[in-house]
Amino acid sequence: MKQRARRSGLLTRCALALGVGILQAAAFPNIGIDWLAWLAPGLLMALWLGQTGSSAFRIGYCAGLGHYFVSLYWLLLIPLPAKAVAAWIAVSAVLALYTASWSWLCWRTFPRVQARAKPDDTVRIERRVRARGLQVRSAAPVGRVPSPGVPESEVSAFKTLLATNCRQRTAWGLICACSWVAIEMSIARILTGFPWNLLGASQYRRLALIQIASVTGVYGVSFLIVWLSVSLAVAMIRAWRLRALITGVFDLALPTTALLVVVGLGLHRLSQSEPMERELKLALVQPNIPQRVIWDDREKSNRFQKLLALSQQAAATRPDMLVWPEAALPGVLTRFSLQTYEAVTNLVVPNHFWMVMGADDAESKQTQDVAGDADFFNSAFLIDPSGQLVARYHKRHLVMLGEYMPLANWFPFLNHLWSRKGSFTPGRDPTPFVLPNLGAKMSVLICFEDVFPQLVRSSVSEDTDVLVNLTNDGWFGESAAQWQHAVSALFRAVENGLPLVRCTNNGLTCWIDDRGRLHDVYFPGTQDIYGAGVKLVRIPLRTHEEKPSLPFYHRHGDWFGWTCVGIIVGLLLKKLLRPRFE
């Protein structure tokens, strides 16, 4: 009977955790109720408090499923229905493990209490339990928890929480925040990484807050959210159990002060306007070509003509540069498709502007097993006003299952499990696009490369003027994917102190300044981000003489994230080794 009741209670908590995950998803576009992000971690903590480690993991996993099933719904819009469902379930199931791991880490570092709780606290708790018709079970003494983070009952967990002093609770709140950052660092790296909808990205509209990303990266914003959320939950629990609101003031004092300091410094940074004496005028073409059309060889001519028509419209604005999105050209740009190459140069030369475009590239393999065998790349090309191809960049971070099949070199039959005839080859190094007559240097990113903080940082040098991202989110229809991609990329502009230009197939084509402000989001006179059209944007540039040093984050990288990882690893080792020395 007791086991059945315990199992029923766990199922209830798991169901509530699904709801918490959905609340977290609602903090991101397209719903975008960003203050919900400040509640979700604390609510999740309250659900697993007093549970066993395995139960905490299960509850966290359910919260992760709720979050990713809702926020990544757009994977279901991939025009390959069976594979879309499989991808949606698999990606959500894997990412939910990270939320589960955070719950377990926080449970594992739950404070050990050495001092006995005040008798009045214990009496109040037991009276409240009896008033709810529950029996008070015998528990381990408050000062001796049987195992770290494993109170014998929910009552003893609350006793333990009440028996801790403010210093212990504050330290645990900081550990929970460090754990979250360590988990996000893992998300960005394990299995090639997928740092999509990191918690801090939900605050993209809070410009003063997100300026901390110039020092800590987006991870600093996530840290503050989790720290305050857990502290708020602890304060609420103590206030409820002790029936005294004043008890929560001390728990919230330090995280609230830290938040106010960060916002104050952010407001100061936003107020520092820098004069811009130059500008780069770019015409961004958004063709809005459905993914099924891109895959249809019979539509190559039609989609190319549509692209040329929009480009003629853009040329009338007399830009310095014309930009096409990722995979805009049907087929390969270079020697494999001379007719296409000539059409592009005939567009550039009469109008005398630069051009950046996305297209496939191919290079003959050094060791050919088959005649004509080649490596194919997802690429960006720079063409100068004379029609010469002067630089190319090969995408370095490929999409697993979308651009390559893992282990296919060893198990060729895996290639039959997906729609492409072959895999792309990853590029090796970043390639700067230099525009001598305009005195500008840009760094190009393709597809979701702009959501990886460490990759974007490696693409920027001291004399880089602007970041340019070419992407195609047409795989996911007209959905939240376009907004989520853009707001994740927004932090790369803040972290590196550079404007970021985004040219996409079907949204979100825009540019982001070095403080994280979105510009030219909608087409003129509309609230539409998905349709076909041209946007003329003017990117302010500093002269190299007045250009300040790059932000702290760019110069020192993920120092904050790795510090959090080190703290958590150290604490876990201490927990594991402690029994040997006790």
pLDDT at 132: 45
Q: What pLDDT is recorded for position 129? A: 47
Task: Tell me the CB-side half-sphere exposure of residue 150, using CA atoms within 13 A.
Answer: 8
* pLDDT tens per residue, range 225-281: 999 999 999 999 888 877 666 777 888 999 999 999 999 999 999 998 776 778 999
Cα→Cα distances 397→394, 425, 446, 459, Å: 9, 10, 9, 12
Instruction: Please report the pLDDT score of residue 147 as a whole number.
Output: 43
Look up tokens 């110039």; give the residue.
214
Q: What is the 3-state secondary structure (H, E, C) of 202-257?
A: HHCCCHHHHCCHHHHCHHHHHHHHHHHHHHHHHHHHHHHHHCCCCHHHHHHHHHHH
**pLDDT attached to residue 345:** 83
The two tokens of residue 340 are: 């296409």
Handedness of CA 46, 50, 55, 56 (dihedral sign): positive
What tokens does 465 get? 């003027």
In this prediction, the residues of the chain whose per-residue pLDDT falls under 50 are 115-119, 121, 125, 128-129, 132-153, 336, 371, 580-582
Which domains, and CATH codes, for the chain?
166-274+562-574 (no CATH), 278-363+372-547 (3.60.110.10)
Total-model pTM: 0.90
Give kind and range of the element (H or E) at residue 69. helix 53-71
- Asked whether the bond before 508 is cis by omega within 30 degrees of 0, the reply is yes
How far is Cα 495 from Cα 554, in angstroms, rounded to an integer? 6
Count other Cβ atoms within 10 Å, centred on residue 291: 20
As a whole number of angstroms, the distance between CA 166 and CA 169 comes to 5
Cα 341 versus chain centre, distance: 36
Size of the chain, expressed as the number of residues it contains:
582
Tell me the C-alpha to C-alpha distance, in Å, between residue 521 and each of 442, 489, 524: 21, 14, 9
pLDDT number for residue 366: 64
From residue 24, alpha-carbon distances to 204, 221, 472, 516 in Å are 15, 15, 26, 22
| Contact present, 56 and 49 (Cβ < 8 Å) | no
pLDDT of residue 412: 63
- Measuring CA to CA, which residue among 509, 511, 444, 504 is closest to residue 474? 504
Q: What pLDDT is stored for residue 524 in this prediction?
A: 86
Rg of the chain over CA atoms, in angstroms?
Answer: 27
Q: What digits encode the pLDDT tens for the residues 352-367?
A: 999 999 988 888 876 5
What is the number of alpha carbons within 13 Å of residue 237 lying toward its C-beta? Answer: 25
Confidence (pLDDT) at 6: 72
pLDDT at site 117:
44
Other beta carbons within 10 Å of 544: 11
pLDDT value of position 575: 81
